[in-house]
A and B are shown apart, each in its own frame.
Chain A
Amino acid sequence: MTSQVIEMQAGTGQQFGGNQSSPANREIAVSLKNCSLSFGEVQVLNNVSLDIYKNEFLSILGPSGCGKSTLLRLMLELLKPSEGGEISYSSDKPSIGMVFQKPVLMPWLSAIQNIELPLGLGEKKKFTKKEAREKAEGALQLVGLQDFKNHFPHQLSGGMQQRIAIARALAADPAVLLMDEPFGALDEFTREKLNFELLRLWESPDTSLSTVVMVTHSIQESVIMSDRIVMMSPRPAGVEAIIPVPLPRPREVGMEEHPAYYQTVKELRKRVKHL
């Protein structure tokens, strides 16, 4: 199974993705070349090649257990691709933030201490205690939880916990944010709210965020949020198709009425059936 970029045609013959500059001359943030990976006998990834650009919101969509999360862990360098595979970053290696499906907060730390935690890790301390506190407070403000600074995770709702997790990822000023089904465990209301909150953060000049890669299994979520959607095939996962989303930015609530939204969802549905 080789990866391929599929140019999508709408029924009217109009070209999708017309409102974006063509990918060819955009700056690459992360690039995966021929990445394969096996866990023992089980092959998880099969020859995945993917360029992820700066200032891009990219979703990775695919059936559960297909290796979407594994792809993120390759980018995080928590896993290494098997021989022949290569992962490269833009000239200066971007700082990467990570948000998991579960909030993964330390229950013994308060909200602000949880956000500070990654800032204080590693042999080379990048921040003084004071700087870390200021950064954490800034990140807490970004997600609107400054009033819950000293609350502990067990005192916060699931949605709030996940916002703390997002603040924790943002506090270190990442250029690239990787998210592994970040809203998968939340109820529909909270999920929609956080979808748009995340988009605002990404668009905001207050964050250093340039690239977001989000793994999801929700077609609707991927369409409303992303510039491009990477469809993965079932295991061993390869890139089935890369589908641009021709919705204008900034994305607003109610864009589900947009014909382009409807058409992209329909196209994705069709491809899901073929898998």
Chain B
Amino acid sequence: MSDKIKTILYPFGFAVGFLIIWELAVRLFAIPVYLLPAPTAIVSVIDANLGSHMMVTLMEALIGFLLANILGFITAVIFVHSKPIEKGVFPLAIALKTTPLVALAPLLVVWMGTGYSSKVVASMLICFFPILVNSVKGLKAIEFEAWELFSTYKGTKWEIFWKLRLPTSLPYVLSALKISSSLAIVGAIVGEFVGANKGLGYVVLVSSYHMDTPVMFSAIIASAACGLLLFWSISWVEKKLIFWQRVDEV
């Protein structure tokens, strides 16, 4: 059996085994459904309605993720080219990072209402820091000799940025994207908890009021699926884009 098949088959096999044990345990011990619904009970409540809530959360997270990463990268570029701005603004960024998002989320809803925007901003807040820190690090990670090479041949500041700093920073940027891809979903769901009428966070909250545990489970699984989807997409891009670095297959 090839290694590639194994990496797919093994986790798949274990997951199926786990689900079977779960199903059997629920039926054998007659666990009440409000405590732990069987996998089949969860599957039976998955419908188009859940799909539309999932799309809402995914879009909020995705928009927040994209905006935060664009803004974070631009901020990093400014930091790298201006020491005073870096020194002045970095502590503020750290302060923002250390403020729990859960504490900020109600404020966002007060400011922006219960629509999309408060979730997008919550998502942005949580994604902003990883990209900022990693981009600053990556943009500064150029080899000194490479800088000398560019200087020897009279490379302009723009060329040093475009042809040296930017490609050097890519591995750092991509690992920040991987980190924040799952955080983005967290941000959107926290936003939905505080005030929303759609999205997976809203479904989780409402179903908890009704003790509708199967629906709750379906929403939790859907949110995990959103995170995985984002993470895998980024990993795929990373492999294509940073072909010169061997990605550890551990």
Q: Chain B: which residue is nearest A102 at the CB level?
A: B145
Known: A108-B167, A123-B154, A123-B156. A118 touches B244 (CB 8 A): no
Contacts of B164 in A (CB 8 A): 106
Per the 8 Å Cβ criterion, residues 73-113 of A in contact with B are 73, 76, 78, 96, 98, 100, 102, 104, 106-108
- Is the CB of A153 closer than 8 A to any CB of chain B? yes
A107 and B244 form a contact (CB under 8 A):
yes
- Is the CB of B163 closer than 8 A to any CB of chain A? yes
Q: Chain A: which residue is nearest B246 at the CB level?
A: A154
Contacts of A117 in B (CB 8 A): 163
Q: Chain B: which residue is nearest A108 at the CB level?
A: B167
Contacts of B245 in A (CB 8 A): 107
A187 to B43, CA, bound (A): 63
A104 and B155 form a contact (CB under 8 A):
no
Known: A117-B163, A121-B154, A122-B154. A98 touches B149 (CB 8 A): yes
> Which of B143, B149, B155: most chain A Cβ within 10 A?
B149
- Is the CB of B152 closer than 8 A to any CB of chain A? yes
A64 to B146, CA, bound (A): 22
Q: Chain A: which residue is nearest B143 at the CB level?
A: A104
Contacts of B163 in A (CB 8 A): 106, 117, 121
A122 and B156 form a contact (CB under 8 A):
yes
> What does the 1/0 interface line of A113-126 toward B look like (CB < 8 Å)?
00001100111000
Contacts of B167 in A (CB 8 A): 106, 108
A121 and B155 form a contact (CB under 8 A):
yes
Report which of B153, B155, B159, B170 forms a contact with A172, defined as CB distance below 8 A. B153
Per the 8 Å Cβ criterion, residues 158-187 of B in contact with A are 159, 163-164, 167, 170
Report which of A76, A78, A106, A154 forms a contact with B146, defined as CB distance below 8 A. A106
A153 to B143, CA, bound (A): 15
Known: A106-B164, A153-B244, A154-B244. A78 touches B149 (CB 8 A): no
- 12 pairs, CB–CB < 8 Å, chain A vs chain B: A76-B152, A78-B151, A98-B149, A100-B148, A102-B143, A104-B143, A104-B145, A104-B146, A118-B149, A122-B154, A122-B156, A152-B243
> Taking beta carbons and an 8 Å cutoff, which residues of A are in contact with B?
73, 76, 78, 96, 98, 100, 102, 104, 106-108, 117-118, 121-123, 152-154, 172
